[in-house]
């Protein structure tokens, strides 16, 4: 199977076997001319197949993740972010070009599928995942399948309202989880509370560099900085509360936390898990645990391949 993870700056690709092992992986730059991306994609796959002395008959299909709103059943892209695609039958067009079966879904949802197949998901039938990075992404698997919703918006936990009078979110509303638990949100919370006259390693750092990142905040927290520690604890608590509420929808066996902010340390994941266990309904938490995602950047291509396998098997039975 071919797995492709289409991003705004690069497209990651991989040849993945039935067991989920990556045979070969590579990447190409995303063409600034969005109309040319599909031809680029097939050209690089064809080149790789030739270079490895494979034939099209060896390939079960192509799975591709697109960054935006996608109908995973038809492979239709409603709208993407960072790439100028709108109302495009991506699966159909790539199928025509390649002569191979093509399955397309939202990139974050495919990453969740990948984590569930070969990562920290442990092949849970129901799973929830969030990515803590510049923004807060989310995805859900319900009864073994990606949950798209009516127009591709299901599982967007980052836009749960935490504070209706809170900060303006990228989505145009106020006080979404993303305004608190993203890297930007964590930095903003600390900046608001920081007393610049205080002599702490944090304030000294800020005065010297005129900026502080989420990574620094986690580092200072580990070194005992009270403000950083408190901010992270509060953030974990809000995350635990939102996850406990969201868990009522799919009753997940596992909740996975991924993205740059989740790399901070296991103690952060433990804090989120504790808050989740505290807020969640007994029957929800008795079968659910919060874990750190494992696959990093490979989750997308593994998930795309997993999606090919899953959809092809559906057709067989
Ligand atoms: Zn929002």
- What CATH number should be reported for the domain holding residue 258? 3.30.420.40
How many folded domains does the chain comprise? Answer: 2
Cα–Cα distance for residue pair 239/231, rounded to 1 Å: 12
* 137 & 283 share domain: yes
Ligand 1 centroid – CA 253 distance (Å)? 26
How confident is the prediction along the chain (317 residues), in pLDDT tens digits per residue? 999 999 989 999 999 999 999 999 999 999 999 999 999 999 999 999 999 999 999 999 999 999 988 999 999 999 888 889 999 999 999 999 999 999 999 998 999 999 999 999 989 999 999 999 888 989 999 999 999 899 888 999 999 999 999 999 988 999 999 999 999 999 999 999 999 888 999 999 999 999 999 999 999 999 999 999 999 999 999 999 999 999 999 999 999 999 888 888 899 999 999 999 999 999 999 999 999 999 999 999 999 999 999 998 887 65
Instruction: Judge if 8 and 96 occupy the same domain.
Output: yes
- Give residue 213 CA to ligand 1 midpoint distance, Å: 21
Distance of CA 58 from the midpoint of ligand 1 (Å): 43
Q: If you measure from the C-alpha of residue 135 to the centroid of ligand 1, how many angstroms do you get, rounded to a whole number?
A: 9
Based on the domain organization, do 28 and 80 belong to the same domain? Answer: yes
Rounded to the nearest angstrom, the distance between the alpha carbon of 126 and the centre of ligand 1 is 24
The two most distant CA atoms of the chain are separated, in Å, by: 68
Cα of 197 from ligand 1 centre, angstroms:
33
Residues 61 and 127 in one domain: no
Strands 68-71 and 76-80: antiparallel
Kindly tell me the burial class for residue 102, based on how many C-beta atoms sit within 10 Å of its own C-beta (0-12, 13-18, 19 or more).
buried
Shared domain for 141 and 227, answered yes or no, is yes
Does residue 103 share a domain with residue 148?
Answer: no
Cα(288) to ligand 1 centroid in Å equals: 26
pTM of the predicted model as reported, rounded to 2 decimal places: 0.89
182 Cα: distance to centroid of ligand 1 (angstroms)? 11
Are the beta carbons of 261 and 183 closer than 8 angstroms?
yes
- Same domain for 80 and 67? yes
- Please tell me whether residues 273 and 148 are part of one structural domain: yes
Q: Are residues 167 and 230 in the same domain?
A: yes
Closest CA to 261 of 163, 176, 158: 158
Distance between Cα 201 and ligand 1 center (Å) = 33
For residue 211, give its domain range: 122-293
Ligand 1 centroid, distance to 157 Cα (angstroms): 9
Distance 154 CA to ligand 1 centre (A): 14
Do 173 and 231 belong together in one domain?
yes
Indicate whether 51 and 164 sit together in one domain.
no
Å from CA of 289 to ligand 1 middle:
26
Residues near ion ligand 1 (CB < 5 Å) are 159, 169, 171, 176
| Same structural domain, 135 and 178 | yes
């Amino acid at each position: 199977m071919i797995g492709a993870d289409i991003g705004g700056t690069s497209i990651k690709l991989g040849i993945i076997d039935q067991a989920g092992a990556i045979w070969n992986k590579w990447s190409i730059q995303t063409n600034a001319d969005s109309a040319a991306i599909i031809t680029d994609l097939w050209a690089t796959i064809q080149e790789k197949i030739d270079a490895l002395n494979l034939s099209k008959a060896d390939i079960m299909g192509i799975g591709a993740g697109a960054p935006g709103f996608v109908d995973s059943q038809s492979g239709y892209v409603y709208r993407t972010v960072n790439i100028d695609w709108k109302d495009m039958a991506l699966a159909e067009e790539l199928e025509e070009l390649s002569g191979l079966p093509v399955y397309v879904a939202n990139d974050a949802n495919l990453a969740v599928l990948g984590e569930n197949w070969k990562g920290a998901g442990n092949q849970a039938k129901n799973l929830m995942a969030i990515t803590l990075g510049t923004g807060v992404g989310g995805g859900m698997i319900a009864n073994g399948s990606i949950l798209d919703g009516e127009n591709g918006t299901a599982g967007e936990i980052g836009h749960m309202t935490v504070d209706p009078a809170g900060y303006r979110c990228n989505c145009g509303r106020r006080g979404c989880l993303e305004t608190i638990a993203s890297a930007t949100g964590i930095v903003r919370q600390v900046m608001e509370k920081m007393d610049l006259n205080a002599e702490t390693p944090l304030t000294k750092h800020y005065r010297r560099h005129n900026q502080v990142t989420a990574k620094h905040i986690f580092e200072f927290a580990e070194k005992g900085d009270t403000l950083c520690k408190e901010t992270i604890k509060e953030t974990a608590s809000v995350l635990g509360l939102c996850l406990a509420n969201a868990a009522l929808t799919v009753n997940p066996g596992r909740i996975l936390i991924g993205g740059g902010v989740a790399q901070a340390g296991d103690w952060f994941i433990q804090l989120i898990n504790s808050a989740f266990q505290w807020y969640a309904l007994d029957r929800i938490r008795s079968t659910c645990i919060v874990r750190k995602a494992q696959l990093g950047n490979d989750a997308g291509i593994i998930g795309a391949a997993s999606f090919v396998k899953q959809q092809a098997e559906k057709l067989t039975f």
